[in-house]
């Protein structure tokens, strides 16, 4: 099977379109998803192709968007709801965490909630503290809710299709800075399974586990480590945090003996912290050095571009962390 070059946004668009063409129960709703095709153009052309009964422009109300999606899912539809910024998920936490994630459990399996909530985080786009937050670790505390974070166009398309097909609520977190980034996407129909990590680069000296946007920083860091320091890093992208493919990560650490975990959230209670603990439980006696975490500091996101850049994870910070645990 060949591939075509496609942007991250276009790959998500194609994935949703394919599912909508196959299944009339798939609908899209959110702010400006129809008339404008979404502020990030992911749903461009949907209104023209699928009509206003399946592409619903909503009021500016996250509570309404997620609440309607839950009701639609309970009634037999497969809604794909868009929340424009991840920051605004907080307004709909009751619907998402208290209702959607628990409905199947509370009904003894009688209710299914096949809904996807798409959102994006704008860290790196100079959008300030209230439009740049990244907090997927919050949803480790919501059993029943799946959490997906694609880093490439190919994964974005395959994962959105699998998320729509899933009978459980899925939080699909996109990285705003990646929307225009392009990469190869397989031709034809394919699905990327939830709960399966991807080894983006093989290596033998250290394991780097990176999430979402930070995968690209980790890959750049691995090239620097190889060219300048003769260190071969294995880079793993979990792709989904819930379910988390702990086995692939632990197997890699057993091989390399060292681990650096990279994520765009703040360090305290972070994705990196949870992954590090899973490795301590599964591969403690294989570790030859302390686990390192590379995250943002425990501060609000700065608005000034130089400060935001310093606040963020970078390839140089990852290189420094690797060299530190290698004793270089």
pLDDT, tens digit, 9 for 90 and up, residues 245-293: 999 999 999 999 999 999 999 999 999 999 999 999 999 999 999 999 9
CA distance 142 to 276: 20
What is the band of 194 on the pLDDT scale with cuts at 50, 70, 90?
A: very high
CA dihedral over 150, 156, 158, 164, signed as positive or negative? positive
What pLDDT, on a 0 to 100 scale, did the predictor assign at position 36?
86
- Domains of the chain, with CATH numbers? 3-186 (3.40.50.970), 198-326 (3.40.50.920)
Say which residues have a Cβ less than 8 Å from residue 132's Cβ, sequence separation at least 6: 87, 121, 122, 123, 124, 125, 301, 308
Whether residue 95 has pLDDT greater than 90: yes
The residue from 127, 131, 216, 229 that is catalytic is 131
Q: Nearest CA to 237 among 205, 256, 268, 263?
A: 263
What pLDDT, on a 0 to 100 scale, did the predictor assign at position 221?
98
pTM: 0.97
Whether residue 49 has pLDDT greater than 90: yes
- Tell me if 315 sits within 8 A of 224, measured CB to CB: yes
Is 229 one of the catalytic residues? no
Tell me the pLDDT of the chain averaged across its residues: 97
- Tell me if 199 sits within 8 A of 233, measured CB to CB: no
CA distance 323 to 228: 11
C-beta atoms surrounding 257 within 10 Å:
16
């Amino acid at each position: 099977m060949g591939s075509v070059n496609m942007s991250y946004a276009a790959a998500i668009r194609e994935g949703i379109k394919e599912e909508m063409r196959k299944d009339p129960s798939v609908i899209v709703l959110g702010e400006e998803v129809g008339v404008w095709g979404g502020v990030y153009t992911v749903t461009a052309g949907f209104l023209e192709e699928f009509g206003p009964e399946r592409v619903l422009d909503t009021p500016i109300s996250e509570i309404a968007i997620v609440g309607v999606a839950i009701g639609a899912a309970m009634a037999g539809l497969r809604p794909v709801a868009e929340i424009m910024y991840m920051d605004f998920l907080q307004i709909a936490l009751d619907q998402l965490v208290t209702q959607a994630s628990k409905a199947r459990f509370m009904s003894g399996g009688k209710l299914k909630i096949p809904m996807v909530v798409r959102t994006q985080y704008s860290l790196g786009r100079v959008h300030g503290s209230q439009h740049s937050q990244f907090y997927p670790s919050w949803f480790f505390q919501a059993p029943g809710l799946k959490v997906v974070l694609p880093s490439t166009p190919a994964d974005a398309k395959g994962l959105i299709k699998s998320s729509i097909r899933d009978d459980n609520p899925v939080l699909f977190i996109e990285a705003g800075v990646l929307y225009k980034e392009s990469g190869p996407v397989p031709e034809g129909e394919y699905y990327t399974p939830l709960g399966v990590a991807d080894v983006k680069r093989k290596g033998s000296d250290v394991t780097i586990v990176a999430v979402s946007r930070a995968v690209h920083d980790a890959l750049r860091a691995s090239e620097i480590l190889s060219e300048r320091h003769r260190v071969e890093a294995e880079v793993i992208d979990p792709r989904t945090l819930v379910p988390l493919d702990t086995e692939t990560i632990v197997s890699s650490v057993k091989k390399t003996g060292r681990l650096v975990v990279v994520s765009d959230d703040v360090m305290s209670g972070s994705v990196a912290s949870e992954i590090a603990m899973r490795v301590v439980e599964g591969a403690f006696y294989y570790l030859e050095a302390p686990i390192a975490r590379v995250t943002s500091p425990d501060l609000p996101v700065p608005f000034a571009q130089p400060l935001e850049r310093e606040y963020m994870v970078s390839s140089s910070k990852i290189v420094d962390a690797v060299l530190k645990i290698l004793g270089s």
